[in-house]
Amino acid sequence: MEMMIEVQDLTKYYGPTLAISRLNFKVAAGEIVGFLGPNAAGKTTTLKILAGFLAPSGGAARINGRDCLTQSLEVRQSLGYLPEAVPLYTDLTVTQFLRFAAQAKGVEAKAETREVERVVAACGLGEVRHKLIAALSKGFRQRVGLAQALINTPPLLILDEPTIGLDPSQIVEIRQLIKELAGAHTVILSSHILPEVSQLCQRVIIINRGQIVASDTAENLSRQLGRGSRVRLTVPGPDAEVAAALRKIPQVQEVAGEGEGRFLVVAANDADVRPQLARLVVERGWDLLELKAQEFTLEEVFLNLVTEEETTEEGS
């Protein structure tokens, strides 16, 4: 499998402060990978090193086989970068800025107009293309930033909070655009919106306190790191009596009543207690309106990992 990103023992100090420590990960060509972590975890530092804007203190990062430190210019030519704070020339119109970006990225003069038209259409900028960037809303400025990242069809896109500041309909449009980039582009996506990462990314890398604490698909992380298994059921009976009966089933750790006959049952050791739950309800003569397993969300997995990491550090 061809690798687009290879990171080996990557370390960065800001003076005496350690920002990231011996990071190791790979991203295959065509993958969309989520890069997650709490504030000050080292996400932006890592992305800036990959983009060639920061030099590492140790280790190495390679994009498309090129070293991000010693071959910085070649690396920048092969990627599009959308930082969280998008740098724009606000005294230019959208079209003028994108033409400038195309020229800076080495797009041939005869292809410049076609390339600008392509990214304007892809990012929904047609209605504002002749407006000064200074007059645009934050959402449209974000779209302009994404458009410049797409110019010249780079094989790698690094997107730091790409939907920040967008309204709900714009978020849906940008998410769809990012989905369509899979295969033709490798995408590394940093976002605080964890459902967004679940929807868009094939794999997730979670960083905390400058170190990688997990790397896998969201589904695998949910199975591996979720504590026990959970079942949601709806039984329109006397809530207190139903809850008390459910708690007596072996391996049921917790029963949370949510009102109107809805319950969330947590079982120990990934036990599948659905057959016992169904049997109990039928034997008691209650109606069973819903019975389904509920996976742990990426938010819950993320919080488990970060909390465990902090607890371990405090206890050491």
Tens of pLDDT, residues 256-281: 998 889 999 988 877 889 999 999 99
CATH class of 227-293: alpha beta
How far is it, in rounded angstroms, from Cα 303 to Cα 299? 6
pLDDT of residue 136: 94
Strand partners, 190: 35, 160
The pLDDT value recorded for residue 310 is 52
Please report which confidence band the pLDDT of residue 290 belongs to, taking 50, 70 and 90 as the band edges.
very high
Q: What angle do CA 280, 240, 243 make, to 5 degrees?
A: 40
Right CATH number for 3-223 from 3.60.15.10, 3.40.50.300, 3.40.50.1980, 3.20.20.70? 3.40.50.300
Q: At 241, is the pLDDT very low, low, confident or very high (cuts 50, 70, 90)?
A: very high
Give residue 225's pLDDT band: very low, low, confident or very high (50, 70, 90): low
What string of DSSP letters covers 80-136?
EEE-SS----TTSBHHHHHHHHHHHTT--HHHHHHHHHHHHHHTT-GGGTTSBGGGS
Write the pLDDT tens digit of every residue in 171-210: 888 888 888 877 788 999 998 778 888 888 989 999 999 9
Half-sphere exposure of 306 (CA within 13 A, CB side): 18
Give the model's pLDDT for residue 207. Answer: 92
Alpha-helix runs per DSSP H in the chain:
43-50, 72-77, 94-104, 109-122, 138-150, 168-181, 194-200, 218-225, 239-247, 274-283, 298-315
- Rounded average pLDDT over 76-101: 92
Task: Quote the percentage of the chain above a pLDDT of 90.
Answer: 56
Q: What is the mean pLDDT of residues 8-27?
A: 96
- The CA radius of gyration of the chain, in Å to the nearest whole number, is 24
Taking the domains of the chain in order of start, what are their residue ranges? 3-223, 227-293
Q: Give helix 138-150 / helix 94-104 axis angle, nearest 10°.
A: 30
Partnered with residue 263 across adjacent β-strands are 233, 257
Average pLDDT over residues 51-66: 93
Bigger pLDDT: 294 or 314?
Answer: 294
The 10s digit of each residue's pLDDT in 135-148 is 998 888 988 998 99
Tell me: pLDDT of 316 over 60. no
pLDDT at residue number 309: 52
> What would the pLDDT profile of 107-144 be if each residue is shown by its tens digit?
999 999 999 999 999 888 999 999 999 999 888 898 89
Residue whose structure tokens are 């390339």: 115
- Beta carbons within 8 Å of 82's beta carbon, 6+ residues apart: 145, 146, 148, 149, 157, 158, 159, 160, 162
For residues 237 and 242, give the distance between their C-alpha atoms in angstroms, rounded to a whole number. 7
The pLDDT of residue 277 is 94
CA-to-CA distance for 306 and 163, rounded, in angstroms? 24
Place of tokens 């959308």: 82
Mean pLDDT (the chain) is 88
Query: Starting from the edge strand earliest in sequence, which strands make up the sheet with 186-190, in order?
Result: 79-82, 156-160, 186-190, 32-36, 203-208, 211-216
Tell me the whole-structure pTM to 2 decimals: 0.77
Predicted pLDDT of residue 183: 73
Q: Is the pLDDT of residue 8 over 60?
A: yes
Instruction: State the pLDDT at residue 102.
Output: 95
**What average pLDDT does the segment 60-80 reach?**
92
Q: How far apart are CA 201 and CA 33, in angstroms?
A: 5
Buried b / exposed e along 219-252 (16+ C-beta atoms within 10 A): eebbeebbebbbbebebebebeebbebbeebeeb
For residue 167, what pLDDT is reported?
Answer: 79
Nearest-angstrom CA–CA distance, 316 and 306 = 16
Residue 312: pLDDT band (50, 70, 90) is: very low
Position 178 scores a pLDDT of 83
Are the folds of 3-223 and 227-293 the same? no
pLDDT of residue 175: 84
